[in-house]
Structures are given as structure tokens and as C-alpha cells.
Amino acid sequence: MIAILIRWATRLLAVGACLGPIFASDAAEVWVVTDSAHPVRAPHGARVTELDAATRIERELAIQLPTDTSHAAALVQQRLARGGLALQRELADAYQGIVDAWSAGVTKIPAVIVDRRYIVYGERDVERAVRAVERYRSHQS
């Protein structure tokens, strides 16, 4: 069973769902929150946030920095400039993903968020998580 959390205003309702064989595509928005240690199979078009992406980028920027802090800071600035807007955007997106996950109330990973209302924890197959949400929705109508 997968725990699905449904967010109505400020409360969450936990329900169970079984997995089914057919992928439902009624979901308007699918967002996955995970990290590099918990890879997921996400369909094309799903937003994927790796919570450790910012740390990974910062680690790359900090490779072989000198002990002199002013020289190290200048070198990091050079690396950021050399990476251009793409690197700066990647770093900003990584931090924004952390903020968004925290704001959505994500407490475990991997988490699949469907239509900003349903959260499925622990499922690495995103299509399977979406099917579970769709099945839950069909029983609520």
C-alpha cells in the first residue's frame, strides 16, 4: 500500500491506495521531490527536484579552493561567472526547489505531488504513483 496524503486547505487526510496496471493521464501537474540517493522514473514533463542539487553544485564550485578566504571567494566568483547565467539559474532553481518542497509540506522522499493536492511517498515509479492518485480520485466521485 502507498500512503497518499491529500491536502485540503490546511489539513492532510491519509488514505491507502493499491497500485494498478494502467497509467492515467488526467493529472495536470506532476512534481517529484527526491535526492540523488533515491532515483525515480519520471515521465517526460514531470518537474523533478533533487534536494541535494544545491549542495552538489556548491561542492563542484569549491573543488581545490585555496585556504586564503579572499582568494577562495574570488575563485568561486570566477567559476560562477564562467558558468554563466545557466549555472546561476541552476543554482537558484536548486534552492527554489528546496523552498517549494518545504512549503508543500514534503516530509519524506521520494515524494510525488499530483496537482498540488496529493502526495504519494515512497514510490520511485512516478507513473505508478499517478495511477494510485487517479484511482483514489475515481473512488471519491
pLDDT score for 121: 96
Tell me the C-alpha to C-alpha distance, in Å, between residue 62 and each of 71, 92, 116, 118, 138.
Answer: 12, 17, 35, 38, 50
Q: What is the pLDDT of residue 26?
A: 58
Residue 3: is its pLDDT beyond 90?
no
Point out the least confidently predicted range of 25-34, 72-81, 93-102: 25-34
Q: What pLDDT, on a 0 to 100 scale, did the predictor assign at position 1?
A: 31
132, β-bridge pairs: none
Please state, rounded to an integer, the average pLDDT across all residues of the chain: 82
Render pLDDT for 11-29 as a digit per residue (tens, 0 to 9): 222 322 322 333 345 557 9
Residue 25 or 8, more confident: 25
Domain ranges of the chain: 2-140
pTM of the model: 0.74
Whether residue 64 is predicted with pLDDT greater than 80 in this model: the reply is yes
Is 123:110 a contact under the CB 8 Å cutoff?
yes
Strands 111-114 and 118-121 come out as: antiparallel
Q: What pLDDT does residue 27 have?
A: 59
How big is the CA angle at 11 (ends 7 and 16), to the nearest 5 degrees? 60
